[in-house]
Amino acid sequence: MRDVAVIGLGMHPWGKFKDKSVGDLCRVAVDQALADAGVAWREIEGVAAASSRFSGGRGWGLNGNDVVDDLGNTGVPVYNLSAGCAAGGNAFNVGWSMVASGIHDVMLVVGGEKMPKGFIQTSGVEEVTDPEYLRQVCVGMPGPAFWGAMCRRRMAKHGTTEEQLARIAVKAHANSVHNEWARFRKEFTLEQVLGSAMVSYPLRLFEICPVSDGAAAVVICSADIARANSRRPVWVAGSAVATARFDDGIPRGLAGPVPAHGEAYHSEAALAVEKAMAMAGVNPPEVDFMELQDNTVFYELSFPEEWGFCKPGEAEGLMEAGETTPTGSMPINPSGGFQSFGEATTAQGIWQVCELVTQLRGDGGGRQVPGAGVGLAQALGLGGNGSAVVMRSEL
Amino acid sequence: MPQATPVVEGLFTDTANGPRLTGSRCAGCDMPYLPVSALCHNPDCDAPDLQPAEFGPWGVIWSLARQDYPPPAPVKFDEPYQAYAMAVVDLDDGLRVLGRVATDDPESVDVGQRVELIIDTLAHDEDGKELSTWKFRVVEQGAGA
């Protein structure tokens, strides 16, 4: 396998843009990424794109083909990857795999999305063979209630308080003020978060990410090309995808077996993170910061524990001591996270890579993690899809 | 009184011994399935067939959630909307299953409480016909997680 570098990044800011198409958003991100990389569109040898259910793609998830049509058809191969909200992460993994294995030398990885209003409805398939449909019709557990149940278990086990949950949102928004790409660039007080509407106890409106429009793109290439052409390469130390294990206890459908361990954890995320970290040859103490998928503040507590960054029940204390801020010992989501961006689902995994590159280049400004040399990003999607990437500032 | 119609057929039944969920169990590894499954999905099991199985009625609340806002379709509820509780229940016979909690006081429901499976009204359809589903009723206070 060859070493792979990210040499260019581009983003359209996250928000709601009723007068722009998803193609408009992607074009901004791709043009920036090409310019940042110093690479012409004709030099791109392959496109890995996240397939969207919500916008573009002609109903078939052909979002990469939309981008190629827009930039100009060069005959370039397109790989459209579908993995729910992990699609951006999966597309990055496929792009990395193809450059690392020598099939292509320079690739574009892109994801963009315009989301419909409201919380994401689950599968959208209305038939009794679909477990998500059964779950909604017979019980009625939309996404926020699922997160509520996961969080409620933690409260019972570790005594997590509503105030601690709110403090995570306050931390996220304090970071977002320094991020020009974030949708909500505004500080929130503890009182404002605790005063927001209860969505599914114990989770409040300002503790759950809304949906957004946005697009992100990166240019990746082989080490030889990066060294010859790029002033500012950032290196992919490990990239992995995984799917969920049979026995992880997460109530994804209507029912499953009670696992031997009794608890529930997102095995697809843990497996991807473990694989990416093993490939990079790093352990938690060597990771300087992480961008994790905080659809809800709860995940800032559970994920670091599930990945071995701290012991079960320690995450609240670390957060309260400020260790998860950019200047702490375990910085989480210096970007401001999904809390500050909202979720343009299939663009998220690529936006996370953009944040890793920004931090590892030292371009984080007011949200910079001091001396950041190794970063981890993780995405999670419907269907039990997980992705992770570890990046380094130096090989 | 018109007869209540199951919101989805084939998932639960009222037996001589009381309400049960109706699914399958693997003859090889004992893995429980709801709804009925034709094959075992345990990657470590290659047993050829599954047997019909009934689950319930006893279990413990592993965790729960409250639906504080009217949820989007296809979730069913009667107007005026009232927040409901739903639980992830670990049944004594090895199935971790979701279900609403039958209670007028969602705030009283907690992790670790012992529950019993019941069949109860879910909502009414546009013709006023009663739709039923399985729910859980708290029978004993618990000891937490």
Q: State the pLDDT confidence band at B66, using cuts at 50, 70 and 90.
A: very high
- CA torsion A307-A311-A316-A319 (nearest 10°) is -60
Query: What confidence score (pLDDT) does residue B2 get?
Result: 53
Do residues B107 and B67 lie in contact, with contact meaning Cβ atoms separated by under 8 Å? no
A156–B69 CB contact, under 8 Å: no
First to last CA, chain B: 41
Q: Does A356 touch chain B (CB under 8 A)?
A: no
Nearest-by-Cβ selection for B98 from A126, A249, A254: A254
- Nearest residue of chain B to residue A255 (CA atoms): B97
CA contacts within 13 A on the Cβ side of B79: 3
Query: What's the CA gap between A130 and A52, in Å, rounded?
Result: 20
Question: What pLDDT shows up at residue A231?
Answer: 82
How far is B101 from chain A, CA to nearest CA, in Å? 9
Q: Which residues of B touch A249 (CB under 8 A)?
A: 96
Residue B42 lies in a domain: yes
Contact A152 B63 (CB under 8 A): yes
Give the sign of the dihedral formed by CA A304, CA A306, CA A312, CA A313.
positive
What's the whole-number mean pLDDT along residues B92-105? 96
Tally Cβ neighbours within 10 Å of residue A6.
Answer: 31
pLDDT tens digit string along B119-129? 999 999 989 99
d(CA A91, CA A103): 15
User: B72 and A118: CB-CB below 8 Å?
Assistant: yes
Question: Count of H helices and E strands in chain B?
Answer: 0, 10
Nearest CA in chain B to A133: B74
pLDDT reported for residue B114: 97
Q: Stretch B21-30: mean pLDDT, rounded?
A: 96
The helix-helix angle for A348-360 and A87-100 (nearest 10°) equals 60
Structural domain that includes position B110: 5-140
Domain assignment present for residue B15? The answer is yes
pTM (two decimals): 0.95
- Residue A119 has a pLDDT of 66
Instruction: Give CA–CA dist A69/A47, Å, rounded.
Output: 12
Contact A156 B43 (CB under 8 A): no
- Tell me whether the omega of the peptide bond preceding residue A131 falls within 30 degrees of 0, making it cis: no
B14 domain-assigned: yes
Domains, chain A? 4-118+213-229 (3.40.47.10), 134-210+237-392 (3.40.47.10)
User: Considering the domain boundaries, does residue B113 fall inside one?
Assistant: yes
CA distance A376 to chain B (A): 30
Shortest distance between the Cα of A121 and any Cα of chain B, in A, equals 7
Q: What total number of domains does chain B contain?
A: 1
User: Is B93 a residue whose pLDDT tops 90?
Assistant: yes
> Given CB atoms, is A134 within the 8 Å cutoff of chain B?
yes
**CA-based nearest residue to A166, from A204, A210, A209, A211:** A204
Residues of chain A with pLDDT under 50: none
Would B117 be classed as within a structural domain? yes
Q: What is the ipTM of this complex?
A: 0.94
Identify whether the C-beta of residue B6 lies closer than 8 Å to the C-beta of residue B20.
no
A 10 A CB-CB count for A182 gives 26
Decide if B75 and A254 are in contact by the 8 Å CB cutoff: no
Q: Output the pLDDT for position B98.
A: 98
Peptide bond into B52 cis (omega under 30): no
Is residue B145 one of the residues assigned to a domain?
no
Give the residue from chain A lying closest to B23, CA to CA.
A255
Measured between beta carbons, which residues in chain B are less than 8 angstroms from residue A134? 8, 11, 35
